[in-house]
Structure 1
Amino acid sequence: MSEDQGRNSPQTIVTDEAPIAVPPVPAPLPGMLTSLPSLARWTILAMVSFVLSAALFLSHIPGALLLGPMAAAILVATNGARLSVHRVPYIVAHSLIGCIIARSLDLQTLKAVAHDWPIFLAIVLAVIAASSLLGYLIAKADILPGTTAVWGTSAGAASAMVLMAEAHGADARLVAFMQYLRVVFVATGASIMAAFVFNVEGGAAQEIIWFPPTDWIELAKTVAVALAAAVVGAKLRIPAGTMLLPMIATTTLHVLGYITIDLPEWLLAAAYGLLGWKIGLSFTRRILRHAASALPQVVGSIVLLMGFCGGLAFLLWWLKGIDPLTAYLATSPGGLDSVAIIAASTPVDMSFVMALQTTRLLLIILIGPAISSFVARRLRA
């Protein structure tokens, strides 16, 4: 279905609970960019993305290469650009993020995680419990239906949560709004915390060589493995499989010594930009209208969840001596992809960060359906 067809679809939201009657919403009025040719709209998006990314980068904001394109995409999307990122380059970008995670994982880190598994499990379960409680309270107040509220507040990768929500009867549009809004809050908050609270200069922490000498054979091997795994994940419809399977495949081959993960900065910058565009372009005016009445409560739940995770980070620092920024990013409810991008540009223990994030995502995928069904049953009762 095309994006324009999606805009003109019926206004009845069907979930595994009672159907939700939504007042008819007229077709969106053309924005200032709607009448421009497609090439002109993409050009404007690229130019605004470059300007915002450069401004954030020169301001030493970590994650600038994600936040700049994200902000630019939101700006043009809400002004009638009507653009969308094709599924193929988005899958490629996701597979490269999986490679970034794989590059940071090694046997020593996995042994450390196995040694401290009770702490990992306790933190992950605490975050899942907090996000599920927030979802229940939102549904209990009749702000959003039960399964939609639970999946919308779930602290996992946004794209995976949208897919899981759709597969389990929730309204994927509202879940996408909640998830991507949280990504914006968490990614921005994590970048600000890193830059101004922990005094980490994301742009100046180390000199970035955009076009370094590259071992093209190792790069080709890495990309080939990642893309093959991503295709399998997409074909099997595994939630977040286009990122998780490349991560598993490249991690295994990297640890065994069959490949050397060598990703040049220009390639990563392109992947970051595509992910930012994908997130930002999801913010159509239609989705914003659907969620407008719930916006204060959704923002409140995001802030509460971020505060709760910040408290867990404090406990990690206090009880285990984990570096504060590492602990903050590890417990951050922003999802694998956005946290990976920010962690990759800051001096943190990325292996610890991504191990905790990955553990949480896998557990949510495993027990999320049971939680949403439980909440739905409780509300019906």
Structure 2
Amino acid sequence: MSDPQNDSKTAFISTPKAFNKPRHWCLLVVISSLFVTGLELLSAPAAFLLGPMLAAIILVVSDHPLTLHTLPFRLAQTVVGVMIASHLPLSTFADIAEQWQVYLFGTAMTILASGIVGVALTKSALLPGTTAIWGTSPGAAGVMTIMSESYGADMRLVAVMQYTRVAFCALAAMLTAGLLVEPEALPSSSTHWFVSNWHNFLVTLILVILALLVATKVRISGGFLLLPMFISFVLQSFNLIVIELPQSLLMLAFATMGWGIGFRFTPAVVRHALHVLPFILLSIFFLLLMNVLVAWVLVLWIDIDFLSAFLGTSPGGADSVAIIAANIPVDTGFVMTMQVSRFLLVMIVGPLLAKWLSTKLIR
């Protein structure tokens, strides 16, 4: 998961004025619009996330420096967190308690696959120090990137590995959904483009702002996604609010998140990682292959369709997966519950496992 909780230094989002030239932003908007239009014509899900992300990567890598202030990125995460809550069924926690073996299995297999890849790359000496261990760890990308430097890893390479995985997993999820979902089954993006209930919308906006303030004060990893999601879910469960998020606001939040991910691929970082990029891509391919195998196991184990199982066990960012799941006919409750439960467990086990492997391999 991309981690907006960290400050500009840790999350690789900053605000140097020399970088944010108006013509670059105009070019970004134009290219993003072209990508979104193309993806929409192809009936691709989450076009408003993936189009801006691809446009941002292309511009930044081609030496058109752009940066994004932390506030809009955090606000976008908060909106997505509230959106996730609106798709979670009231039985979410009961489902986790009833099928805890399923959620534990999905999480354990993700951690196991990441550990195998990390150890194999470290033993091969293709990456310096313990870079591979931290680069393949499936926790919050920002957290793993910053912690890695204290354990003999190259923080720049870790950042490339983490955010490349997030980007490729989002693309893989989009392509898989595009292959398995008929275009006519996709919901119309214009259905809820405008506000249908202004009272609910204003209450939701107040909730977003308050959740953003709470997440700013409560410094936990992934807080700008998890805290709004939890607060909204509780309020919705007690029928205290009805979440109203028009499509136009969601599209803006999706685009902001896409840009935030894409801006991390700076030319300097990409050049630094170029010589090991094939091995990074190979490790991501292995994780996606494991994703497919685990999804098939879940299909045979419980009453779930393959696409829901695939998205639920995706090793990419929970936020990007949530956006894709919300735009296609899948079991969104299962997908988001699996992603959130995996994220929470990985945030506890992931750093501890990475530390332990780093210490063992250094010795």
TM-score normalized by the length of structure 2: 0.89
Equivalence for 2:254? 272
SS in 1 for 2:219: coil
For residues 176 and 239 of structure 2, the distance between their equivalents in structure 1, rounded to whole angstroms, comes to 36
How do 1:225-244 and structure 2 match up within 5 A? Answer: 225-244=207-226
Name which of 254, 257, 266 aligns with 2:239.
Answer: 257
CA 1:254–1:147: 2 relative to 1, 3 Å = farther
Give the Å deviation of 1:316: 0.8
**Can you list the C-alpha shifts for 1:60-94, whole angstroms capped at 9, x where unaligned?**
01111111001100111012221111100000000
1:207 to 2:188 alignment: yes
1:302 to 2:284 alignment: yes
How do 1:360-375 and structure 2 match up within 5 A? Answer: 360-375=342-357
Equivalence for 1:112? 95
Give the Å deviation of 1:151: 2.7
Is contact 1:230-1:243 (8 Å) kept?
no
1:332 to 2:314 alignment: yes
Equivalence for 2:172? 189
**Can you list the C-alpha shifts for 1:283-339, whole angstroms capped at 9, x where unaligned?**
111011121122111111100010011100001111213111101111111121110
> RCO (CA 8 Å, sep 6+): is it higher in 1 or 2?
2
For residues 271 and 64 of structure 1, the distance between their equivalents in structure 2, rounded to whole angstroms, comes to 12
The structure number with the bigger radius of gyration is: 1
The one-letter code matched in structure 2 to 1:41 is H
Is contact 2:195-2:244 (8 Å) kept?
no
For residues 163 and 240 of structure 1, the distance between their equivalents in structure 2, rounded to whole angstroms, comes to 14
1:178 to 2:161 alignment: yes
**Can you list the C-alpha shifts for 1:215-235, whole angstroms capped at 9, x where unaligned?**
233222223223322333233
Equivalence for 1:350? 332
Give the Å deviation of 1:190: 1.2
Is contact 2:50-2:170 (8 Å) kept?
yes
CA 1:211–1:2: 2 relative to 1, 3 Å = closer
SS in 1 for 2:44: coil
TM-score normalized by the length of structure 1: 0.85
**Further displaced range: 69-78 or 159-168:** 159-168
1:144 to 2:131 alignment: no
Give the Å deviation of 1:237: 2.9
Q: Percent identity?
A: 38
CA 1:136–1:117: 2 relative to 1, 3 Å = same
SS in 2 for 1:107: coil
Equivalence for 1:17? none
Name which of 300, 303, 328 aligns with 1:321.
Answer: 303
The one-letter code matched in structure 1 to 2:349 is I
Is contact 1:93-1:271 (8 Å) kept?
yes
**Can you list the C-alpha shifts for 1:179-233, whole angstroms capped at 9, x where unaligned?**
221122111111111112x1343x8612222533432332222232233223332
**Further displaced range: 289-298 or 269-278:** 289-298
CA 1:160–1:233: 2 relative to 1, 3 Å = farther
Equivalence for 1:63? 46
1:379 to 2:339 alignment: no
Equivalence for 1:94? 77
Give the Å deviation of 1:146: 5.2
For residues 229 and 213 of structure 1, the distance between their equivalents in structure 2, rounded to whole angstroms, comes to 21
For residues 291 and 79 of structure 1, the distance between their equivalents in structure 2, rounded to whole angstroms, comes to 16
CA 1:376–1:36: 2 relative to 1, 3 Å = closer
CA 1:37–1:256: 2 relative to 1, 3 Å = closer
Count of residue correspondences: 350
For residues 272 and 168 of structure 1, the distance between their equivalents in structure 2, rounded to whole angstroms, comes to 34
